[in-house]
Structure 1
Amino acid sequence: MSTVSATSSSTTAGQAKTTMTAESLLGSDFKTWLTLMTAQLRNQDPFDPVDSTEYTAQLAQFSALEQQVHTNDLLSDLITVSASNDMAGMAEWIGKEVRVVAPADYAGTPVPVHASPDPTAYRAELVVLDRYGTEVNRLMINTGESDLEWNGRDAAGHDVAWSRYSFEVESFDSDGELISTRGAEIYADVLEVQKSGDLYALMLPGGVSVGTEEISAVRSAEG
């Protein structure tokens, strides 16, 4: 009798261990889990067989596990398809012009600039900076949102070198105190779309990279 009790205790412990192992395998490999359950049934104590209720529960667990694996596979397929569709959609940006705060290359023709001074500004100025951040020119502009052109000349009225320039809008109050400084926007061609993780970046001339959230307007390349 003691031998049977010892065997029963050992078997019960083994069943508990097998159950915990099965739970730890959820979401992993249900084939391994099935092998463990089959081994449990094959080696069960004939004097203390697996309870039918427990056996049914384990089968239900196995069914749920298998369904979870299939669901994960389906989700992976859907994510792959979605990513492909996203990239195809992003490709439509190529060839468009986007309005964004970015430097512009001056090559002898006026550079269109979109300025948005502070809404409370009494006076506003457009500041032109060279590629090193040195001020090249400063122009009075409207205090309201407006489109204008920089003619490629410095403060002395001389033509500047063909190079890359950036633009800032400085807003002042009625006492001449600076309220804010914000970047002015230019239109640039989208040459390429790149993906990094879940984020997309638009590549502009000169190797400039911007995120789609930085864009305030889009138009066809013909303007």
Structure 2
Amino acid sequence: MAVSGTSGTSSTSSASTVTGAASGIANNFDQFLSLLTTQLKNQSPLDPLDTNQFTAQLVQFAGVEQQLRTNETLASLLSLSAAGTATNAVGFIGAVVTTDGATTRLANGKAEWNVTMPAAGTATITIKDAKGSVVQTQTRTFSAGDQSYAWDGSTSIGVQAPDGEYTITIDAKNIAGESITAKTQISGLVDGVDFTSSIPMLKIGSISVPIDKVKSVVRGE
């Protein structure tokens, strides 16, 4: 499980800066009150100080202190939220998730995609390996709606493709011969989580799935 050291350092540094700023403003606030009291005690009777101005300054200074304390609280809440998201992401390990995508894993002679067709028709299916090389091309009919497409790993030259990640491309046309767009989804077992990006990435082999793109989760017995 990968964890970004840069992200952690940044969060710690930010929290320390906010805390230090809040502490400094609090000390300056006490000094401000002391100066204010001294000025009021030693003001000239012939030229008294404007108390309204002092009051306005006091309110403004208190507002700045309150804002810094609010920022400190928000930083703490963000840290707690990030920790909660990380905990939730780890909970996906061992579960089968479904997400939008065209790349899935061939394992033990089976790879499967969920396909959604807006209308019935025919489609040319092209399957490529991780290097982008075409390993299989097929033509088949589809009905309208959700369905699955399974591939047994056989290539166009009649040999068995090795286990790994493969990407499907569907060039579909309806009965009238007009081009239509087929949507594909993949499912797979989550075996890890990557925290190096701003959004935790669920790992299905070498496939990365953003946690906010997960459509469904199924956990085995």
- Judge same fold: TM > 0.5, yes or no: yes
Is the counterpart of residue 29 in structure 1 residue 28 in structure 2? no
Gaps of 5+ in 1: 1-24
Is the counterpart of residue 168 in structure 1 residue 169 in structure 2? yes
- Provide the C-alpha distance between the structure 2 equivalents of 1:193 and 1:49, rounded to a whole number of angstroms: 68
CA apart distance, 1:41: 5.8
Deviations 1:156-201 (A, max 9, x none): 544334443222222113354543365x333222222233564222
CA 1:146–1:96: 2 relative to 1, 3 Å: same
RMSD, aligned CA: 3.3
What fraction of aligned residue pairs are identical, expressed as a percent?
22
Is the counterpart of residue 194 in structure 1 residue 194 in structure 2? yes
Superposed counterparts of 1:12-51, under 5 Å: 29-32=25-28, 34-35=30-31, 38-39=34-35, 42=38, 46=44, 47-51=46-50
- TM-score under structure 1 length normalisation: 0.69
Partner of residue 22, structure 1: none
Superposed counterparts of 1:51-200, under 5 Å: 51-100=50-99, 101-117=101-117, 119-135=118-134, 136-144=136-144, 145-180=146-181, 182=183, 184-196=184-196, 198-200=198-200
Deviations 1:18-72 (A, max 9, x none): xxxxxxx99x835335535644664676243322222233333333333333332
Larger radius of gyration: 1
Q: Is contact 1:94–1:191 with CA below 8 Å preserved after alignment?
A: yes
The one-letter code of the counterpart of 1:169 is I
Q: Is contact 2:154–2:161 with CA below 8 Å preserved after alignment?
A: yes
- Provide the C-alpha distance between the structure 2 equivalents of 1:167 and 1:88, rounded to a whole number of angstroms: 33
* Counterpart secondary structure, 1:72: helix
* Counterpart secondary structure, 1:185: strand
Gaps of 5+ in 2: 1-20
The one-letter code of the counterpart of 1:147 is S
Quick one: higher RCO (CA 8 Å, sep 6+), 1 or 2? Answer: 2
The one-letter code of the counterpart of 1:191 is D
Q: Is contact 1:137–1:153 with CA below 8 Å preserved after alignment?
A: no
* Counterpart secondary structure, 1:147: strand
Is the counterpart of residue 209 in structure 1 residue 205 in structure 2? no
CA 1:98–1:58: 2 relative to 1, 3 Å: same
Q: Is contact 1:125–1:140 with CA below 8 Å preserved after alignment?
A: yes
- Provide the C-alpha distance between the structure 2 equivalents of 1:132 and 1:78, rounded to a whole number of angstroms: 43
CA apart distance, 1:96: 1.2
- TM-score under structure 2 length normalisation: 0.69
* Counterpart secondary structure, 2:47: coil
The one-letter code of the counterpart of 1:202 is L
CA 1:106–1:75: 2 relative to 1, 3 Å: closer
- Provide the C-alpha distance between the structure 1 equivalents of 2:55 and 2:205, rounded to a whole number of angstroms: 65
CA 1:163–1:196: 2 relative to 1, 3 Å: closer
